[in-house]
């Protein structure tokens, strides 16, 4: 008896992977690894009308970036393949036929038009025991009529025959006992006219064949759980059924409802894990990765959305998450996504991450901005100076670009109101004193020199520090002024002061 934990994430490749999807992966992964089990990626590509080129690769890339690598997948292979449902078509047909033979399913010949017409007549129409005799199917029609239709290759679907009066009860790991009166669900299509299964059939058949022990999915699936349970009962037996857990939803930050791609666009934050370019519209949706998130931070805040270990601990490494994860502590209620808190997690992870590693991660961001970095060691030093004030990797650009090139704009409006001739004289003298210096003076020496000079000009250092800062970095931000001078060194400092002096005298 093989009792090894096996879980799966089964997305349909229709576009970018969003927060909710990644969190479902995460909880699957954490659960599997916590129990020493296996995590499987299965591609649910049974809807050929929604096929999107590149979406499968995108999912795999995203999982890689997150560090949630499957043990079995279309790419990694495994003993229970193929892992793409489109390649398993024959398997589903076989089980659909079994269902027909056993009387748990039937052929339905209604066209799309028939159904639309019926729905127009009956606003709350359900293809259910109450109405199925009014439709065109192998229950309402005579045997000869059915075989005639079949012989003529009339398109048909296979529908599950939901029992009239039965209660389905199952235990959800998160929600406890959930009961459904099956009469409220309709005869779901199991096999479509194109021969492809719907999700309902495919998920049951594949979970069985792939020996899935625990099935986790979003709460939106709860209402169709009775269909799946019935199918398990008819096909494989309830004792073989995986344990279910329906995960709470991730909600919009404001208002209510499921978080959507549109919310991100409207409110200015990412929703997808990584950049996603729609191959047909060419529209690109920004991802957490490109926005400047560390995967560790992304995973960390996703884990805390709906779960905690019972303590006040919030910063977790993936190893710590694996060790502490417990499905029983996952919430029932949905959680609103808070971008500010997400950024806080990222900031904590930036602080935690070694400067050498940050330098490597940051290089592409600097490249993209065309900021040339001549020495990696200098970059690493600069990172150490500014990392405390960065929430996102992209913040490093604004916080440190002046270390690599003179600022392109100088906020003279912040200097001008208090600017006076004697300050101009002072800065000219400062430049001169710099010119007389040799080598690479340290911040402390620079500060002492500056203060002596200020005193001799009878100006408070405080009145001079802000102008000097703005001359060097362009605005009111950045690390200590003298640390900056030490880093960019004297010749550059002189150039920047002289440039600003000129700008100021032009005004």
Partner RNA sequence: GGAGCGUUCGACUAAGGGUUAGGUCACCUCCCUUUCACGGAGGUAAUACGGGUUCGAAUCCCGUACGCUCUACCA
Considering the rule CB under 7 A, would residue 480 count as an interface residue with RNA?
yes
Instruction: Tell me which residues in 68-107 interact with RNA (CB under 7 A).
Output: none
Is residue 495 within 8 Å of residue 406, measured between CB atoms?
yes
> In angstroms, what is the minimal distance from the CB of 322 to RNA?
19
Considering the rule CB under 7 A, would residue 290 count as an interface residue with RNA?
no
> In angstroms, what is the minimal distance from the CB of 373 to RNA?
21
Query: Which of residues 7, 11, 212, 325 is near RNA by CB under 7 A?
Result: 11
- The 3-state DSSP class for residue 18 equals strand
Q: Which is nearer to RNA, 119 or 376 (CB)?
A: 119
CA dist 377 and 316 (Å) reads: 29
List of long-range contacts for 287-291, beta carbons under 8 Å, 24+ apart: 287/16, 289/65, 291/392, 291/394
Query: Which of residues 152, 179, 374, 507 is near RNA by CB under 7 A?
Result: 179
Q: Which is nearer to RNA, 417 or 439 (CB)?
A: 417
Is residue 499 within 8 Å of residue 406, measured between CB atoms?
yes
Considering the rule CB under 7 A, would residue 282 count as an interface residue with RNA?
no
Question: Apex CA 258: angle with CA 257 and CA 263, to 5°?
Answer: 95
Q: Which is nearer to RNA, 435 or 452 (CB)?
A: 452
Is residue 126 within 8 Å of residue 159, measured between CB atoms?
no
> In angstroms, what is the minimal distance from the CB of 408 to RNA?
18
Instruction: Tell me which residues in 136-155 interact with RNA (CB under 7 A).
Output: 155
Of the candidate spans 91-99, 323-331, 354-362, 498-506, the one that interacts with RNA by CB under 7 A turns out to be 323-331
| Catalytic residue status for 261 | yes
261, 336, 341, 381: which one is catalytic? 261
Of the candidate spans 252-260, 274-282, 360-368, 488-496, the one that interacts with RNA by CB under 7 A turns out to be 252-260
Q: HSE, CB side, 13 Å, CA atoms: give it for residue 484.
A: 26
The dihedral sign for the CA sequence 53, 55, 58, 60 = negative
Q: Which is nearer to RNA, 11 or 74 (CB)?
A: 11
Considering the rule CB under 7 A, would residue 266 count as an interface residue with RNA?
no
Considering the rule CB under 7 A, would residue 421 count as an interface residue with RNA?
no
Of the candidate spans 28-36, 55-63, 457-465, 499-507, the one that interacts with RNA by CB under 7 A turns out to be 457-465
> In angstroms, what is the minimal distance from the CB of 345 to RNA?
8
* Number of C-beta neighbours around residue 268 at 10 A: 9
> In angstroms, what is the minimal distance from the CB of 148 to RNA?
18
- Helices 481-506 and 376-386 pack at an angle, to 10 degrees, of 90
Instruction: Tell me which residues in 330-349 interact with RNA (CB under 7 A).
Output: 331-336, 338, 340-341, 344
* Residue whose pair of structure tokens reads 């400047």 in the numeric block: 292
The dihedral sign for the CA sequence 29, 35, 38, 43 = negative
CA dist 372 and 384 (Å) reads: 18
Residues touching RNA, count (CB under 7 A)? 79
405: CB partners within 8 A, 6+ apart:
371, 372
- Structural Rg of the chain based on CA atoms: 32
Q: Give Cα 437 distance to the centre of its chain.
A: 53
Q: Which is nearer to RNA, 331 or 495 (CB)?
A: 331
Of the candidate spans 45-53, 138-146, 417-425, 490-498, the one that interacts with RNA by CB under 7 A turns out to be 45-53
- Helices 19-34 and 55-66 pack at an angle, to 10 degrees, of 50
Query: Which of residues 47, 275, 320, 498 is near RNA by CB under 7 A?
Result: 47
> In angstroms, what is the minimal distance from the CB of 331 to RNA?
5
Active site residues: 261
């Amino acid at each position: 008896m093989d009792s090894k934990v096996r879980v799966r994430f089964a997305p349909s490749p229709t576009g970018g992977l969003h927060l909710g999807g990644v969190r479902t992966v995460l909880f699957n992964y954490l659960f599997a690894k916590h129990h020493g089990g296996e995590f499987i990626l299965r591609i649910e590509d049974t809807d050929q009308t929604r096929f999107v080129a590149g979406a499968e690769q995108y999912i795999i890339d995203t999982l890689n970036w997150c560090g949630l690598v499957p043990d079995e997948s279309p790419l990694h292979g495994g003993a229970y393949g193929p892992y793409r449902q489109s390649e398993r078509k024959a398997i589903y047909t076989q089980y659909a036929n079994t269902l027909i033979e056993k009387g748990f399913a039937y052929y339905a010949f209604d066209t799309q038009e028939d159904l639309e017409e019926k729905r127009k007549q009956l606003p709350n129409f359900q293809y259910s025991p109450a109405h199925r005799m009014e439709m065109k199917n192998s229950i309402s029609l005579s045997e000869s009529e059915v075989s005639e239709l079949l012989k003529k290759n009339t398109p048909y679907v296979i529908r599950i025959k939901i029992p009239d009066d039965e209660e389905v009860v199952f235990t959800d790991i998160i929600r406890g006992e959930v009961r459904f009166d099956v009469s409220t669900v309709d005869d779901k299509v199991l096999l479509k006219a194109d021969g492809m299964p719907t999700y309902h059939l495919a998920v049951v058949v594949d979970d069985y064949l792939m020996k899935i022990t625990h099935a986790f999915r979003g709460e939106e699936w709860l209402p169709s759980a009775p269909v799946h349970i019935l199918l398990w009962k008819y096909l494989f037996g309830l004792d073989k059924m995986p344990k279910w857990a329906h995960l709470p939803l991730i909600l919009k930050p404001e208002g209510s409802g499921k978080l959507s791609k549109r919310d991100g666009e409207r409110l200015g934050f990412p929703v997808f894990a990584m950049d996603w370019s729609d191959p047909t519209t060419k529209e690109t949706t920004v991802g957490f990765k490109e926005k400047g998130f560390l995967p560790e931070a992304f995973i960390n805040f996703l884990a805390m959305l709906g779960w905690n270990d019972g303590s006040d601990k919030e910063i977790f490494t993936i190893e710590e998450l694996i060790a502490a994860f417990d499905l029983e502590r996952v919430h029932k209620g949905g959680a609103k996504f808070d971008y500010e808190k997400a950024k806080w997690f990222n900031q904590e992870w930036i602080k935690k991450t070694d400067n050498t590693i940050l330098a490597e991660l940051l290089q592409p961001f600097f490249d993209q901005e065309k900021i040339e970095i001549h020495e990696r060691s200098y970059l690493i030093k600069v990172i150490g100076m500014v990392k405390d004030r960065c929430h996102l990797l992209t913040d490093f650009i604004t916080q440190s670009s002046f270390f690599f090139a003179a600022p392109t704009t100088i906020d003279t409006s912040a200097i001008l109101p208090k600017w006076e001739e004697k300050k101009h004289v002072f800065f000219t003298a400062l430049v001169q004193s710099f010119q007389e210096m040799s080598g690479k003076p340290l911040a402390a020496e620079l500060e002492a020199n500056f203060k002596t000079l200020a005193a001799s000009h009878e100006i408070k250092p405080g009145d001079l520090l802000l102008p000097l800062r703005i001359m060097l970095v362009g605005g009111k931000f950045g690390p200590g002024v003298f640390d900056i001078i030490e880093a960019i060194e004297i010749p550059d400092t002189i150039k920047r002061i002289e440039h600003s002096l000129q700008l100021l005298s032009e005004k």
